[in-house]
Amino acid sequence: DGGITQSPKYLFRKEGQNVTLSCEQNLNHDAMYWYRQDPGQGLRLIYYSQIVNDFQKGDIAEGYSVSREKKESFPLTVTSAQKNPTAFYLCASSIDHQEFNQPQHFGDGTRLSIL
């Protein structure tokens, strides 16, 4: 079955620690996205990538970093500079970022909490 796999499902971060969230897709999609979900605020875009070796900041990129070395993979690192990292993180993909009529496909998320 094609889809998006996020791991781990739950993650705990200590003070001063960087943590990396994994996102893998086997849909052969060019575009990938990271969103942060907080209660009552909908989804906010952190970073997106239209193609391998390219990525763009979203609305709330500060304290986060990404890489896109392979088409299938788009890991997100939550750095110690992100002072309020507790949230539900969602990875998504779409066929092509410029195909405006195409929906995004989502993984099942990673819930990050501070120890």
Partner 1 sequence: AQSVAQPEDQVNVAEGNPLTVKCTYSVSGNPYLFWYVQYPNRGLQFLLKYITGDNLVKGSYGFEAEFNKSQTSFHLKKPSALVSDSALYFCAVRDIEIGGQNFVFGPGTRLSVLP
CB of 35 to partner 1, least distance (A): 8
Peptide bond into 8 cis (omega under 30): yes
> Binding to partner 1 by residue 2, rule CB under 8 A?
no
> Binding to partner 1 by residue 112, rule CB under 8 A?
no
Residue 21 vs 90, nearer CB to partner 1: 90
Residue 33 vs 78, nearer CB to partner 1: 33
Query: If DSSP codes are grouped into helix, strand and coil, which group holds residue 64?
Result: strand
Element (H, E) at 7: strand 4-7
Whole-number Å distance between alpha carbons of 54 and 6: 20
CB of 15 to partner 1, least distance (A): 26
Q: Are 48 and 64 in contact, with CB atoms under 8 Å apart? A: no
Which DSSP string do the residues of 26-45 spell out, in sequence order? -S--SEEEEEEE-TTS-EEE
Residue 41 vs 84, nearer CB to partner 1: 41
Q: Which of 27, 43, 60, 95 binds partner 1 (CB under 8 A)?
A: 43
Q: Which residues bind partner 1 (CB under 8 A)?
A: 4, 6, 9, 40-43, 45, 48, 58, 90, 92, 97-98, 100-101, 103-109, 111
